[in-house]
Amino acid sequence: EPEVTQTPSHQVTQMGQEVILRCVPISNHLYFYWYRQILGQKVEFLVSFYNNEISEKSEIFDDQFSVERPDGSNFTLKIRSTKLEDSAMYFCASKIDRGPSYEQYFGPGTRLTVT
Partner 1 sequence: ILNVEQSPQSLHVQEGDSTNFTCSFPSSNFYALHWYRWETAKSPEALFVMTLNGDEKKKGRISATLNTKEGYSYLYIKGSQPEDSATYLCAFESGGSNYKLTFGKGTLLTVNP
Contact footprint for partner 1 (CB under 8 A): 3-4, 31, 33, 35, 41-45, 48, 50, 55-56, 91, 95, 98, 100-109
Amino acid code (one letter) for 56: E
| Helices first, then strands: H and E counts in the chain | 0, 11
Which residue, 82 or 109, has its beta carbon nearer to partner 1? 109
Which one-letter DSSP state was computed for residue 103? P
What whole-number distance in Å separates Cα of residue 98 and Cα of residue 13? Answer: 36
Cβ of residue 64: shortest distance to partner 1, in angstroms? 20
Cβ of residue 97: shortest distance to partner 1, in angstroms? 10
Which residue, 28 or 41, has its beta carbon nearer to partner 1? 41
Cβ of residue 7: shortest distance to partner 1, in angstroms? 13
Q: Which residues contact 54 (CB under 8 A, 6 or more apart)?
A: 47, 48, 67
